[in-house]
């Protein structure tokens, strides 16, 4: 009988499946028990109960992020359905840790354990342990000034000192004291001045909080850095506890000479380790998505030239904007006999702990934000790491046994590194933060209790920029409705404004595509060995008006392909295959395109909520270009007689990046979205505009600003560069030109 063997087979596979599941469960339980933090569970819970503010310092990988929230939940700290919130500076960390903790708790993600990051919310009413980005919690404070759904907030990775962490700490201090002082009593108007914004909607929400019963807010700061004193001092002498980690010796090796091409040096080292060293995975620190993808391709090319038995490499990338379904791959062990090569940004320094690493390759570089308040321009530049970062990186090789770290620079260079990284708030454009604070009702930005005060000039510049964008009134109050709407959009203010303006110009659909496409790293890729083919493919999408319309063409073409697939084929796998093939044929980066599509649908949700209708200008691209000019008037550049351009606001001489469709045509006047610095300063993402539009479209006062900046530069402005991307977390915009398309 045919049915019998079938049943038997089914039983066998079921058995195998459940055995595997059981094994994994036992494994996880064992791993958890073995974590250094497990032995101090009771003490930590006691400390949290006894202190409203607590600082926990512990070696990376000791179990802080995954275990502490579970300890607190199990100890019953979530009364009345309140939530334990844990903030992370990076999206990937929030997502991957939430997945892991859901698995550890044996619950479905989004139920008791969930995460929420910009453009992706996986939580429900049942969620009690919620991982999120620090930027997202700041946004939540806009809607819920007392963060009333939280009983505990854990600010994780505080040593990273991202601008959001710094602002969040300042805000949480006021929220904590407000919760203990006012919320359970009648809120009196004088004392609430901190939260006054002059915005009636917000006032109403605050009134709704009056008399609400709220437990005091527990605040926990977690850090991998040993120096807890800065946090303790800022938080009124808060208690700090240390969790002892475990670390095996790591052999640190340096190069004899400085390496002129660190990517090539990294490649050579990867293969040297692979061919000469014993088993163990390799972790390579690179600076961003483009670089990671470039190295990934090169490793594959080189491995293919090796004898079959030496090709056993599994390459896994990890960076902030990596689509979440690919993130977990990094934690999966390589198949037996294979070696895993993890290509990571500084995310793998402390944010995520990947098991199995024995070798670290560290070129000693990191992509960081840099801001010049004189010229008002911000850039992402590649700079040497700090000593603290170098030590964190090498430490990754010694978690499970002895390891080796290859620093791709001479030992003498190490001594020259700065001790620790300058907090981001001192080196970024503050307009986003200032807008958020204003929306939170904190009007006196200069008087705000920052952990480390940004320069007065940087604050004034951002106020000025927000005023020009129409977000602030003449007396620097949040404008209604524009400033209020801008603060609600999870975008850099200049892009929020572009979307709002697009409403007036009837081109919201087009601007939405552009903002989504600008949020990801480059859409096109041009492999060295297929230059001509790739250029020909790109021509099909190119617009003579510039890169923005070219992006719209790509997006729409991909949408057509998707729609066709959905009509003719409902199977997901086949659909994915077709779109992948389309991307390959057209030299489109499929990861970037997918990310752009996700971002598009999320922003669409926001603007629909705002009541903005999604208008389209159809074929009238003149209208759209006028809207671009009106939106990005701060980023105008004029052609010089020698074919270079002068950026109006900073007076810098810039060149058109070779990846731009306007590289050869060089129109008289352009707007740009990104400034990239290598040996030259390049502008990327350009559109041709008419200079005569500017007096009409740019707001009054923009001219004065430009004039001031010019004089500022003549007095000694330096050569910082500007990278403007819509991503408020500043992490997915590349400061690195595409290697394959360099001049
Ligand atoms: O926060 P901290 O650096 O102290 O450690 P953690 O992130 O809580 O990691 C504790 C352990 O969980 C490490 O051994 C990680 O390898 C493991 N882990 C994992 O296997 N998969 C994840 N997605 C996250 C953590
Ligand atoms: Mg952690």
Give the integer Cα–Cα distance in Å for 492 and 724. 9
Q: Indicate whether 284 pLDDT > 90.
A: yes
Ligand 1 pocket residue status of 65, Cβ below 6 Å? yes
User: What was the pLDDT predicted at 516?
Assistant: 93
Nearest to 588 by CA among 561, 621, 627, 623: 561
Do both 255 and 284 map to the same domain?
A: yes
Ligand 1 pocket residue status of 365, Cβ below 6 Å? no
Ligand approaching nearest to the C-alpha of 30: 1
Asked which of 206-215, 241-250, 328-337, 536-545 is least confident by mean pLDDT, the reply is 206-215
User: What was the pLDDT predicted at 246?
Assistant: 79
User: What was the pLDDT predicted at 720?
Assistant: 23
CATH of the domain at 364: 3.40.50.300
Residue 346 lies inside a defined structural domain of this protein: yes
In 425-474, where do the E strands start and end? none
Give the integer Cα–Cα distance in Å for 635 and 446. 27
Mean pLDDT of the chain: 85
pLDDT (tens digit, 9 = 90+) per residue, 359-381?
A: 999 999 999 888 777 666 677 78
Q: Which two tokens stand for residue 158?
A: 């505080």
What is the atom index within ligand 1 of the atom nearest the CA of 354?
A: 16
- Cα 306-310-313 angle, rounded to 5 deg: 105
Q: Indicate whether 728 pLDDT > 50.
A: no
Q: Indicate whether 544 pLDDT > 60.
A: yes
Rama region for 342: left / alpha / beta (φ>0; ψ in -120 to 50; rest):
beta
Q: How many domains does the chain have?
A: 4
Q: Tell the residue nearest (CA) to atom 10 of ligand 1.
A: 63
Ligand 1 pocket residue status of 399, Cβ below 6 Å? no
Ligand 1 pocket residue status of 331, Cβ below 6 Å? yes
Do both 445 and 583 map to the same domain?
A: yes
Q: Using 50, 70 and 90 to split pLDDT, how confident is the model at 262?
A: very high
Do both 70 and 120 map to the same domain?
A: yes
Nearest to 155 by CA among 79, 217, 71: 217
- Cα 308-313-316 angle, rounded to 5 deg: 150
pLDDT, average across residues 317-346: 87
Nearest to 397 by CA among 61, 30, 93, 94: 61
Do both 435 and 565 map to the same domain?
A: yes
Residue 15 lies inside a defined structural domain of this protein: no
| Residue 369 to residues 380, 540, 721, Cα–Cα distance (Å) | 4, 35, 10
Do both 403 and 491 map to the same domain?
A: no
Pick the residue with more confidence: 203 or 480?
Answer: 480
Q: Indicate whether 659 pLDDT > 90.
A: no
Q: Indicate whether 573 pLDDT > 80.
A: no
Number of Cβ within a 10 Å radius of residue 32: 15
Ligand 1 pocket residue status of 351, Cβ below 6 Å? no
Of 4-13, 189-198, 479-488, 566-575, the range with the highest mean pLDDT is 479-488
| Residue 83 to residues 87, 433, 554, Cα–Cα distance (Å) | 13, 25, 42
Give the integer Cα–Cα distance in Å for 689 and 629. 7
> ipTM for the complex?
0.98
> To test the ligand 1 pocket, which listed residue (25, 60, 63) has its Cβ within 8 A of the most ligand atoms?
63
User: What was the pLDDT predicted at 194?
Assistant: 41
Distance 127 CA to ligand 1 centre (A): 21
Q: Using 50, 70 and 90 to split pLDDT, how confident is the model at 405?
A: very high
Do both 612 and 546 map to the same domain?
A: yes
Residue 627 lies inside a defined structural domain of this protein: no
Complete DSSP assignment for 480-503 = TTHHHHHHHSSS-HHHHHHHHHHH
User: What was the pLDDT predicted at 183?
Assistant: 52
> To test the ligand 1 pocket, which listed residue (24, 60, 93, 100) has its Cβ within 8 A of the most ligand atoms?
100
Domain end residue (candidates: 619, 647, 671):
619
Domain end residue (candidates: 411, 426, 441):
426
Domain end residue (candidates: 392, 426, 460):
426
Residue 624 lies inside a defined structural domain of this protein: no
Residue 735 lies inside a defined structural domain of this protein: no
Residue 20 lies inside a defined structural domain of this protein: no
Q: Tell the residue nearest (CA) to atom 13 of ligand 1.
A: 61
What is the atom index within ligand 1 of the atom nearest the CA of 96?
A: 23
Residue 11 lies inside a defined structural domain of this protein: no
User: What was the pLDDT predicted at 195?
Assistant: 45
pLDDT (tens digit, 9 = 90+) per residue, 9-20?
A: 545 566 787 888
Do both 571 and 671 map to the same domain?
A: no
User: What was the pLDDT predicted at 205?
Assistant: 56
Q: Tell the residue nearest (CA) to atom 18 of ligand 1.
A: 353
What is the atom index within ligand 1 of the atom nearest the CA of 62?
A: 4
Give percent above pLDDT 70 in the chain: 86
Cβ-in-10-Å burial (0-12, 13-18, 19+) of 497 comes to: buried
Do both 264 and 404 map to the same domain?
A: yes
CATH of the domain at 597: 1.20.120.1080
| Residue 478 DSSP one-character state | B
Residue 16 lies inside a defined structural domain of this protein: no
User: What was the pLDDT predicted at 79?
Assistant: 80
Do both 265 and 163 map to the same domain?
A: no
Number of Cβ within a 10 Å radius of residue 321: 23
Q: Tell the residue nearest (CA) to atom 15 of ligand 1.
A: 353
Ligand approaching nearest to the C-alpha of 159: 2
Q: Tell the residue nearest (CA) to atom 24 of ligand 1.
A: 97
Do both 544 and 667 map to the same domain?
A: no
Ligand 1 pocket residue status of 64, Cβ below 6 Å? yes
What is the atom index within ligand 1 of the atom nearest the CA of 352?
A: 7
Pick the residue with more confidence: 561 or 285?
Answer: 285
Q: Which two tokens stand for residue 47?
A: 């400390």
User: What was the pLDDT predicted at 610?
Assistant: 87
Do both 614 and 485 map to the same domain?
A: yes
Ligand 1 pocket residue status of 159, Cβ below 6 Å? no
Length of the chain: 743
> To test the ligand 1 pocket, which listed residue (61, 86, 223) has its Cβ within 8 A of the most ligand atoms?
61
Distance 420 CA to ligand 1 centre (A): 24
Q: What are phi and psi of 524, to 5 degrees?
A: -95, 150
Do both 578 and 638 map to the same domain?
A: no
Ligand 1 pocket residue status of 100, Cβ below 6 Å? yes
Range of the domain at 689: 633-712
Residue with tokens 């978690």, as numbered in its chain: 399
Ligand 1 pocket residue status of 245, Cβ below 6 Å? no
Ligand 1 pocket residue status of 66, Cβ below 6 Å? yes
Distance 424 CA to ligand 1 centre (A): 25
Q: Using 50, 70 and 90 to split pLDDT, how confident is the model at 699?
A: confident
Pick the residue with more confidence: 628 or 651?
Answer: 628
Distance 107 CA to ligand 1 centre (A): 18
């Amino acid at each position: 009988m045919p049915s019998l063997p079938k049943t038997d087979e089914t039983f066998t596979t079921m058995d195998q499946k459940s055995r595997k599941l059981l094994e994994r469960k036992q494994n996880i339980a064992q791993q958890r028990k073995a974590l250094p933090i497990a032995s101090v569970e009771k003490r930590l819970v006691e400390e949290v109960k006894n202190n409203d503010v607590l600082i926990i310092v512990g070696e990376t990988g000791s179990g802080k992020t995954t275990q502490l929230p579970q300890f607190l939940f199990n100890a019953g700290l979530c009364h009345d359905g309140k939530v334990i919130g844990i903030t992370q500076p990076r999206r990937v960390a929030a997502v991957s840790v939430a997945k892991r903790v859901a698995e550890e708790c044996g619950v479905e993600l989004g139920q008791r354990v969930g995460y929420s990051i910009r453009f992706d919310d996986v939580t429900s009413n049942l969620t009690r342990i919620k991982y999120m980005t620090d930027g997202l919690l700041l946004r939540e404070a806009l809607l819920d000034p007392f963060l009333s759904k939280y009983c505990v907030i854990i600010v994780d990775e505080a040593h990273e000192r991202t601008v959001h962490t710094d602002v969040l700490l300042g805000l949480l201090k006021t929220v904590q004291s407000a919760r203990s002082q006012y919320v359970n009593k009648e809120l009196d108007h004088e004392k609430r001045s901190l939260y006054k914004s002059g915005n009636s909607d917000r006032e109403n929400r605050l009134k709704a909080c009056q008399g609400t019963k709220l437990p005091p807010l527990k605040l926990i700061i977690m850090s991998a850095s040993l120096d807890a004193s800065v946090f303790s001092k800022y938080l009124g002498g808060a208690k700090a506890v240390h969790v002892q980690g475990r670390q095996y010796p790591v052999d640190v090796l340096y190069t004899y000479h400085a390496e002129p091409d660190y990517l090539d040096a990294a490649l050579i080292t990867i293969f040297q380790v692979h061919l000469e060293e014993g088993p163990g995975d390799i972790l390579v620190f690179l600076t961003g998505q483009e670089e990671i993808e470039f190295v990934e391709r090169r490793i594959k090319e080189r491995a293919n030239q090796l004898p079959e038995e030496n090709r056993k490499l599994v390459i896994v990338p990890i960076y902030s904007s990596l689509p979440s379904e690919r993130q977990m791959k990094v934690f999966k062990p390589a198949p037996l006999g294979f070696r895993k090569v993890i290509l990571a940004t500084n995310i793998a320094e402390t944010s995520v702990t990947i098991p199995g690493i024995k070798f670290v390759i560290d070129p000693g570089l990191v992509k960081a934000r840099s801001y010049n308040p004189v010229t008002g321009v911000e850039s992402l530049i590649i700079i040497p790491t700090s000593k603290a970062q170098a030590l964190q990186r090498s430490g990754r090789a010694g978690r499970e046994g002895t390891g080796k770290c290859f620093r791709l620079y001479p030992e003498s260079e190490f001594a020259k590194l700065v001790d620790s990284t300058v907090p981001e708030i001192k080196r970024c454009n503050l307009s986003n933060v200032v807008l958020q604070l204003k929306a939170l009702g904190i009007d006196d930005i200069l008087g705000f209790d920052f952990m480390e005060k940004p320069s007065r000039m940087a604050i004034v510049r951002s106020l000025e920029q927000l005023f020009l964008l129409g977000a602030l009134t003449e007396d620097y109050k949040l404008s209604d409705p524009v400033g209020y709407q801008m603060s609600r959009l999870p975008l850099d203010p200049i892009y929020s404004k572009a979307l709002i303006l697009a409403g007036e110009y009837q081109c919201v659909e087009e601007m939405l595509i552009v903002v989504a496409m600008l949020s990801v790293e480059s859409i096109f890729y041009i492999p060295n060995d297929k230059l001509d083919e790739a250029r020909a493919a790109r021509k099909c999408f190119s617009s003579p008006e510039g890169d923005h319309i070219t992006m719209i063409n790509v997006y729409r073409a991909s949408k057509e392909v998707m729609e066709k697939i959905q009509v003719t084929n409902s199977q997901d796998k086949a659909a994915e295959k077709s779109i992948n093939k389309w991307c390959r044929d057209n030299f489109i980066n499929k990861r970037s395109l997918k990310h752009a599509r996700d971002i598009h649908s999320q922003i669409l949700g926001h603007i629909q909520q705002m009541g903005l209708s999604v208008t389209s200008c159809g074929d009238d691209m003149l209208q759209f270009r006028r809207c671009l000019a009106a939106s990005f008037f701060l980023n105008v550049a004029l052609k010089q007689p020698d074919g270079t351009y002068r950026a109006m606001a900073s007076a810098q001489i810039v060149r058109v990046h070779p990846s731009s469709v306007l590289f050869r045509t060089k129109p008289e006047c352009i707007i740009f979205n990104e400034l990239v610095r290598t040996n030259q300063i390049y502008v990327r993402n350009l559109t041709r505009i008419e200079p005569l539009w500017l007096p009409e479209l740019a707001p009054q006062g923009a001219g004065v600003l430009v004039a001031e900046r010019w004089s500022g530069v003549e007095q000694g402005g330096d050569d910082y560069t500007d990278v403007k991307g819509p991503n408020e977390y500043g992490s997915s915009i590349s400061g690195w030109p595409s290697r394959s398309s360099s001049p």
